Structure 1
Amino acid sequence: MNFDIILLYNLPALFWGLVITLKIAFLSFVFAIIIAHVVGILRALNIPKAVDLIFRAYVETFRGIPLLILLFFIYYGLPSVGIVMDNTTAAVLGLSLNGGAYISEIVRASLLSIPKGQWDACSSLGMNKVQSLVYVIIPQTIRISMPSLMNSFSTIIKESSLVSVIAITELTRVGQLIYTKTASPFEVYIVIALVYLSVIFTVSLLSNLIEKKLNYAYNR
Structure 2
Amino acid sequence: MDWSVITGNAGLLGRAFLTTLWVAGATILLSVLLAFPLAVMRDGRIRALRWTAAVFSWAMRATPALTLLFLSYYGLPQIGIYLDAVPAAIAGLTFSAAGYNMEYIRAGLRAVPATQYEAARALGMPGWMILRRVIVPQAIRTIMPPLTSNLTLVLKGSSLAGMVAVTELTGAGMALISETYRPFEVLIVIALAYLGLNGLLIRLQKLVERRLGPGAA
Output the TM-score relative to the length of structure 2.
Answer: 0.91
What does residue range 126-205 of structure 1 map to in structure 2 within 5 Å? 126-205=124-203
The aligned residue for residue 64 of structure 1 is 62
Equivalent pair of 1:62/1:97 in contact (CA under 8 Å): yes
Q: Give the direction of change, closer, same or farther, for the CA distance of 1:209–1:122 in structure 2 (3 Å limit).
A: closer
Equivalent pair of 1:44/1:111 in contact (CA under 8 Å): no
Q: Larger deviation: 168-177 or 128-137?
A: 128-137
The aligned residue for residue 22 of structure 2 is 23
Which whole-Å CA distance do the structure 2 matches of 1:214 and 1:131 have between them? 14
Q: Give the total of aligned pairs.
A: 217
The aligned residue for residue 215 of structure 2 is 218
Which whole-Å CA distance do the structure 2 matches of 1:212 and 1:36 have between them? 21
Equivalent pair of 1:147/1:211 in contact (CA under 8 Å): no
1:178-216 alpha-carbon deviations (Å, 9 max, x no partner): 11321222332232122212221232234345435655x
Q: Give the direction of change, closer, same or farther, for the CA distance of 1:148–1:218 in structure 2 (3 Å limit).
A: farther
Equivalent pair of 1:62/1:98 in contact (CA under 8 Å): yes
Q: Give the direction of change, closer, same or farther, for the CA distance of 1:118–1:212 in structure 2 (3 Å limit).
A: same
Shift of 1:121: 0.8
- More contact order relative to length (CA 8 Å, sep ≥ 6): 1
Q: One-letter code of the match for 2:37? A: V
Q: One-letter code of the match for 2:215? A: Y
Q: One-letter code of the match for 1:205? A: R
Equivalent pair of 1:32/1:103 in contact (CA under 8 Å): yes
The aligned residue for residue 44 of structure 2 is 45
Q: Give the direction of change, closer, same or farther, for the CA distance of 1:181–1:110 in structure 2 (3 Å limit).
A: same
Q: 1:98 aligned to 2:96?
A: yes
Q: One-letter code of the match for 1:18? A: F
The aligned residue for residue 72 of structure 2 is 74
Shift of 1:63: 0.6
Shift of 1:141: 2.0
* Gap runs ≥5 in structure 1: none
Q: One-letter code of the match for 1:17? A: A
Which whole-Å CA distance do the structure 1 matches of 2:135 and 2:18 have between them? 35
Q: Give the direction of change, closer, same or farther, for the CA distance of 1:57–1:219 in structure 2 (3 Å limit).
A: closer
Identity percentage of aligned residues? 35
Q: One-letter code of the match for 1:5? A: S
Equivalent pair of 2:140/2:209 in contact (CA under 8 Å): no
Q: Give the direction of change, closer, same or farther, for the CA distance of 1:167–1:152 in structure 2 (3 Å limit).
A: same
Equivalent pair of 2:16/2:167 in contact (CA under 8 Å): yes
Q: Give the direction of change, closer, same or farther, for the CA distance of 1:212–1:125 in structure 2 (3 Å limit).
A: closer
Q: One-letter code of the match for 1:136? A: V
